Amino acid sequence: MDYTLRELECFTAVAEELSFTRAARRLHLAQPPLSRHVRVLEEKMGVRLFERDQKGVSLTAAGGLFYEETRGILPQLSRASEAVRRAARGETTRLRLGFVSAVLSAELVETFRKFRGAHPQVQVMLHDSPPAEQLQAIAEGRLEGGFVGLMPDDHPAGVKFVPWRKEPLLCFLPEGHRLTKLKHGMQKKLRIGLADLSREPFIAVSAGAAPAFAALVHTLCREAGFRPRIVLESPRAQAVAVMVAAGSGIALLPESLAHLMGRAVCAVPLKESPEITHVFAHGPGRMSGAMREFLELLTVHGSSQR
């Protein structure tokens, strides 16, 4: 590398601000030295990185390519510096955990808070990704564990599972849907039978992202005597709930998502009272002390999250 980090920092600021004035202000640097750093960088590379005219500043084709290739360098260096500072403070252990929006709840956040309070030396990093991606990352060692939802029928060799929470499966309906109205004017809590959904357009979590959950929905509908007419799919359960709120169809989703969506959707219990069991997946090999302690807290605290 024949350019300095300062030159890269100046280039990145101008590329993102498309203004030498704003870039200099962002870096707390006078404009002449900033322009000089960019000019020296262009000379070293032998290409023009910016076009400058009366209309303003724009990236050349070479400048755009250079920005795309280098945009992650400065954030990575910042993260590396923060990791070193954490290590100096004694935070030497890192837990990389995956999760899906369907399991996120105030109780789970409280579990993380309690774990952090009891183990301040452990840095917990959360990665939002679908179950299938989590399982692959766990098997490859890129994640120590993950909240993958339901127990999968097919999974990478060596990955282990721990049940940690049960919750009902509800029917999510858009506001004003005909099935949300109370029958005969009786003021009692509404419950819907699965058979009542046979003619409804379904929005579903895609089988590629969450095969176990997708299979469960199909099984429940088949047992009720129909095949769901799926009109839209998404790898994210929360996106499915948002599409329901927009009026695109109905969905079967975990109760915890109802709390996240608030009044945007109507989440109605089912007469069949289907229930799902969430599992936590962790990788093969010897489990770290931090992971054992986290799992212990999760299973104890999770048993009350119902």
User: Other C-beta atoms within 10 Å of 158: how many?
Assistant: 10
90-165+278-302 and 167-275: identical CATH topology: yes
pLDDT for residue 176: 87
pLDDT for residue 10: 95
pLDDT for residue 89: 62
Helical H segments across the chain, by residue range? 5-17, 20-26, 31-45, 61-70, 73-88, 106-118, 131-139, 211-223, 237-245, 255-261, 289-302
pLDDT for residue 87: 62
Residue with tokens 């910016």: 50
DSSP secondary structure, 233-302, as one string: EES-HHHHHHHHHTTS-BEEEEHHHHHHHGGGEEEE-BTT--EEEEEEEE-SSPPPHHHHHHHHHHHHHH
Strand partners, 254: 169
The CATH H-level superfamily of 167-275 is Periplasmic binding protein-like II (3.40.190.10)
Q: How far is CA 246 from CA 175, 181, 256, in A?
A: 9, 18, 19
What six digits make up the tokens of 70?
Answer: 């280098």
| Model confidence, pTM | 0.64
Task: Please state whether 266 falls in left (phi above 0), alpha (psi between -120 and 50) or beta.
Answer: beta
- The Cα–Cα gap between 280 and 257 comes to 18
Indicate if the alpha-carbon torsion angle 43, 44, 48, 52 is positive or negative: negative
Indicate if the alpha-carbon torsion angle 198, 235, 238, 273 is positive or negative: positive
* CATH match for 5-76 among 1.10.10.10, 3.30.565.10, 2.40.128.260, 3.30.70.141: 1.10.10.10
**For the chain, domain boundaries:** 5-76, 90-165+278-302, 167-275
Phi, psi (degrees; rounded to nearest 5) at 206: -65, 145
Contact in structure between 203 and 244 (CB atoms under 8 Å): yes
The hierarchical CATH code for the domain 90-165+278-302 is: 3.40.190.10
C-alpha atoms less than 13 angstroms from C-alpha of 95 in its C-beta half-sphere: 24
- The Cα–Cα gap between 97 and 111 comes to 13
pLDDT for residue 122: 83
Strand partners, 99: 128
pLDDT for residue 219: 96
Contact in structure between 70 and 12 (CB atoms under 8 Å): yes
Identity of the residue numbered 163: P
Question: Average pLDDT for consecutive 10-residue bins of the chain (306 residues)?
Answer: 88 94 93 94 93 88 93 84 67 78 79 86 86 90 90 86 92 90 55 94 93 94 96 92 94 89 88 93 78 85 53
| C-alpha R_g of the chain | 26
